[in-house]
Structure 1
Amino acid sequence: MVQANLGFLARTLLGRPTCLIDRGAKLSRHARILNARKSSEHIRIGAGSFVGGELFVFAHGGDIEIGRDCFIDRGARIWSADSIKIGDRVLVGPDVNIFDSLTHPISAAQRHAQIRSIFTVGHPAEIDLDERPVSIGNGVQIGAGAIILRGVEIGDNVIVPPGSIVTKSLGATESRTP
């Protein structure tokens, strides 16, 4: 924990954008905050939350908001080129991927140009990755290895089984009395 927090502190002191962390939120030593935008305000972690995975916003756009008392496990990858909003008390298992874009252009020529830009000057400030926002409700549990794709809305208290590939929105579970 200390090592990640020292790296985070060093990047902050150097003036590099990282993220905004509410009271009681923590980053594990395995957490990676990759912010290609010009402001730390594009990645926000709510009070009491724990991040052990990777949060990344693209240079041309992207916004990640993690609610209160969430747990993002080690190996989880949340990449935003538009908007990813995670509610309160959400559990994201290990090796989960949440993407609000295609992450790379479909065209081989455009994909090559994007990679060339990343290697020479950084992530391009203008690019179309067919972005669509992702919204995850309160109390959601996302099992290990699940993949949440662009444009998906997950309602409150939904459980996403391990290894699932979610391409369409999922409604909230109904409470049932025995």
Structure 2
Amino acid sequence: MELQKNETKSLSKQALISDSSVFYRESSIENLQNDKSNVVIGDNTHIRGGLLIFKYGGKIVIGNHCYVGEGARLWSGESLTIGNNVLISHNVSIVDTDSHEINYLERAVRYKEMLSTGHWETKGSIKTNPIIIKDYAWINFGASILKGVTVGKGAIIGAGSVVTKDVPDWTIVAGNPAQIIRTISESER
């Protein structure tokens, strides 16, 4: 069931959303920067998952005619750019940040900060790197895409895969870590 108009208006305070796009009851936007230009949703895109922009940075841009499945989590501390006609299945995680520091003492201090404020106030030494998902890609259910990855045009990510490296255009990858299975032939495209 999609959101009612008054519920959609509250989301539009957190993001720039095309009038033709649809958010469903299970969807959410948490824009900790309170700058709606950091979450941009194109035309005829349907969102069932959750979008999160960290307080210390981040931007999510989703193109036209995309789908984000239920339970999917798109978290940004740097930049997530999703092209047009991209299918993101249920329970997918796309995260352009480590979300926590490697140094245990810094991580402990930040955790205490998070308990008192509800989120990380500053970036500290957290590592971030943009993610780009090009047009016509399909991210199958339960997959994870980690920071710094570009998923090529028309690429398919197998169910449950963990993507840590770039995926070429028109390629199928699967596994943990994801490996190239094969190229998608011209006749299959």
TM-score (norm 1): 0.90
Residue 2 (1) aligns with residue 16 (2): no
Query: Larger deviation: 40-49 or 113-122?
Result: 113-122
CA distance in 2, matches of 1:128, 1:37: 19
User: Which residue number in structure 2 is paired with residue 169 of structure 1?
Assistant: 166
Give me the whole-angstrom Cα distance separating, in 2, the residues matched to 1:19 and 1:36.
Answer: 11
Matched-pair contact (CA < 8 Å) for 1:37–1:57 = yes
Q: Which stretch of structure 1 is more off in the superposition, 134-143 or 100-109?
A: 100-109
Picking from 51, 59, 78, the partner of 2:55 is: 59
Partner of 2:116: 120
- Give runs of aligned pairs for residues 6-85 of structure 1, distance below 5 A: 6-10=6-10, 18-85=14-81
Q: 1:29 to 1:126 in 2, by over 3 A?
A: same
| 137-146 vs 122-131, greater mean Cα deviation | 122-131
SS, match of residue 43 in structure 2: coil
User: Of 96, 99, 104, which residue of structure 2 is paired with 1:100?
Assistant: 96
SS in 2 for 1:177: helix
Corresponding position of 2:153:
156
Structure 1, unpaired ranges of 5+: none
Query: 124, 130, 135: which is aligned to 1:133?
Result: 130
Distance in structure 2 (CA, Å) of the matches to 1:154 and 1:18: 27
Contact 2:11–2:29 under 8 Å retained in 1? no
- Other structure's SS at 1:2 match: coil
2:82 corresponds, among 86, 90, 93, to 86
Displacement of 1:103 in angstroms is: 1.0
Q: Distance in 2 between matches of 1:114 and 1:168?
A: 28
Q: Distance in 1 between matches of 2:81 and 2:96?
A: 10
Give the number of aligned pairs.
173
User: Could you tell which deviates more after superposition, 77-86 or 120-129?
Assistant: 120-129
The structure where strand makes up a greater share of residues is 2
Conserved 8 A contact 1:134-1:151: yes
Which residue identity lines up with residue 187 of structure 2 in the other structure?
A: T
**Higher relative CO (CA 8 A, sep ≥ 6), structure 1 or 2?**
1
**Runs of 4+, deviation exceeding 4 Å:** none
* TM-score normalised by length of structure 2: 0.85
Q: Alpha carbon RMSD of aligned pairs, Å?
A: 1.8
Cα distance change of structure 1 residues 103 and 140 upon mapping to structure 2, 3 Å threshold = same
How many Å separate the matches in 2 of 1:56 and 1:20?
Answer: 14
In the TM superposition, residue 26 of structure 1 has moved relative to its aligned partner by: 1.0
- Segments of 5+ residues of structure 2 without an aligned counterpart are 171-183
